[in-house]
């Protein structure tokens, strides 16, 4: 589980995040939306520990990562897969070599690398493209490389920052199908996007930011009018019972005082 608790972050006079709180359960797929400058990327960078909050807690798997020592940050990042808008692939390396980069920082025997790489390349549909260089790939294929690199470390959570921002609709749609497939396998996904077509199509939980604040969270249940009426009725009945008890108590005390 990821827990963001009263997190604030400023850059000079700019309040990038202001008392932000929410939780993401294991296996949940959540969209982080809002206009440019709302704080989406800042929040993802805080979870990755690229930035440090001014206030608040960020808890991942029961560990407050804001309290981690610098030497423990690489271990944290082994639990996190990251997918960027601009792919961030290495142009001088093949597809397989780009994916290998992620494995080089985790404690996995090199003899197990091939099986892990073959698995994720097949998952993202690049099993026949492993020996090609980035210059030989389309934008959609480059994003698949980025996704394979995020998955190869078997992360607990995937952070995706506008992963379809540089793609046309058809390609973006296919990439989102991959994210859905990965989500169905139990991966937790927190994705920053302003792509309304994708948000409307997938119908996942939405956390909307505006000027650094959470202004909407579809994962927070609100009472319906009928539920509100029932709750108000319960409160009214409870209040009446309390008043009745107080009245009886006063009458009892009055009778006692008369007896004495």
Q: What is the CATH number of the domain that holds 204?
A: 3.40.50.300
**195 phi and psi angles, rounded to 5 deg:** -80, 95
Residues 123 and 194 reside in one and the same domain? yes
Whole-angstrom distance, CA of residue 19 vs CA of residue 15: 10
Give the whole-angstrom CA distance, residue 138 versus residue 99: 17
Domain match, 69 and 159 both: yes
pLDDT of the residue at 245: 52
Q: What are phi and psi of 62, to 5 degrees?
A: 70, 15
Both 116 and 196 in one domain: the answer is yes
What pLDDT is recorded for position 179? Answer: 96
Give the Cβ contact number of residue 250 at 10 Å.
Answer: 10
Q: Is the pLDDT of residue 222 over 80?
A: no
Nearest to 162 by CA among 149, 181, 182, 146: 146
Indicate whether 160 and 230 sit together in one domain: no
> Given a cut of 50, is residue 260 above it in pLDDT?
no
- The position carrying tokens 């944290």 is 76
Same domain, 74 and 138: yes
pLDDT tens track for 230-248 = 444 444 444 444 445 545 4
pLDDT of 227 over the 70 cut: no
Helix axes 113-123, 169-184, angle to 10 degrees: 130
> Is the confidence at residue 73, as pLDDT, over 70?
yes
Segment 63-90 shows an average pLDDT of 93
Q: What is the chain written as a DSSP string?
A: -EEEEEEEEEETTEEEEEEEEEEE-TT-EEEEE-STTSSHHHHHHHHTTSS--SEEEEEETTEEGGG--GGGHHHHHTTEEEE-TT----TTS-HHHHHHHHHTTSS--GGGHHHHHHHHHHHTT-TT-TT--GGGS-HHHHHHHHHHHHHTT--SEEEEESTTTTS-HHHHHHHHHHHHHHHHTT-EEEEE---HHHHHHH--EEEEEETTEEEEETTS----HHHHHHHHHHHHHHHHHHHHHHHHHHHHHHHHHHH-
User: Based on the domain organization, do 80 and 121 belong to the same domain?
Assistant: yes
- Is residue 172 domain-shared with residue 240, that is, in the same domain? no
Torsion over CA of 22, 26, 27 and 28, rounded to 10 degrees?
Answer: -10
Report the interhelical angle of 139-151 vs 113-123 (nearest 10°): 140
Please tell me whether residues 247 and 118 are part of one structural domain: no
Number of domains in the chain: 2
Give pLDDT, residue 240. Answer: 46
pLDDT of residue 127: 96
Instruction: Quickly state the pLDDT bin for 220 (edges 50, 70, 90).
Output: confident
Q: Are 207 and 143 found together in one domain? A: yes
**Stretch among 8-22, 58-72, 129-143, 215-229 having the lowest mean pLDDT:** 215-229
pLDDT (average), residues 15-23: 98
**Segment 22-42, tens digit of pLDDT:** 999 999 999 999 999 999 999
Whether residues 16 and 80 share a domain: the answer is yes
**Residue 21's pLDDT is what?**
98
What's the domain range around 45?
A: 2-217
Kindly tell me if the per-residue pLDDT of 253 is higher than 60. Answer: no
Same domain assignment for residues 253 and 184 = no
Q: pLDDT confidence of 217, banded at 50, 70, 90? A: very high
Average of per-residue pLDDT across 160-173: 93
pLDDT at 152 > cutoff 90: yes
| More confident call, 139 vs 109 | 139
Q: Across all residues in the chain, what is the average pLDDT? A: 87
* Highest-pLDDT range among 79-88, 162-171, 208-217, 223-232: 208-217
For residue 1, name the pLDDT band (cuts at 50, 70, 90): very high
On whether both 23 and 142 belong to a single domain, the answer is: yes
């Amino acid at each position: 589980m990821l827990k963001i608790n009263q997190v604030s972050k400023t850059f000079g006079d700019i309040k990038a995040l202001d008392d932000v709180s929410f939780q993401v359960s294991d296996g949940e797929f959540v969209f982080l939306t809002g206009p440019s400058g709302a704080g989406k990327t800042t929040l993802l960078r805080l979870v990755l520990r690229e930035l440090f909050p001014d206030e608040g807690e960020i808890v991942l798997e029961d560990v407050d990562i804001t309290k981690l020592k610098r030497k423990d940050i690489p271990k944290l990042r082994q639990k996190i897969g990251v997918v960027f808008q601009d792919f961030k692939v290495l142009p001088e390396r093949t597809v397989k070599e780009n994916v290998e980069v992620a494995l080089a920082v985790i404690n996995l025997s090199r003899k197990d690398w091939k099986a892990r790489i073959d698995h994720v390349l097949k998952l993202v549909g690049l099993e026949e493209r492993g020996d090609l260089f980035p210059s030989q790939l389309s934008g959609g294929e480059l994003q698949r490389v980025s996704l394979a690199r995020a998955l190869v470390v078997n992360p607990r959570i995937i952070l995706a920052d506008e992963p379809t921002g540089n793609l046309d609709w058809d390609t973006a749609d296919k990439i989102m199908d991959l994210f859905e497939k990965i989500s169905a396998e139990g991966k937790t996904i927190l994705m920053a996007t302003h792509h309304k077509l994708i948000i409307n199509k997938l119908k996942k939980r939405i956390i909307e930011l505006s000027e650094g604040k959470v202004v909407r969270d579809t994962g927070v249940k609100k009472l319906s009018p009928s539920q509100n009426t029932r709750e108000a009725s319960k409160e009214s009945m409870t209040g009446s019972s309390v008043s009745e008890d107080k009245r009886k108590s006063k009458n009892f005390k009055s009778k006692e005082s008369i007896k004495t």
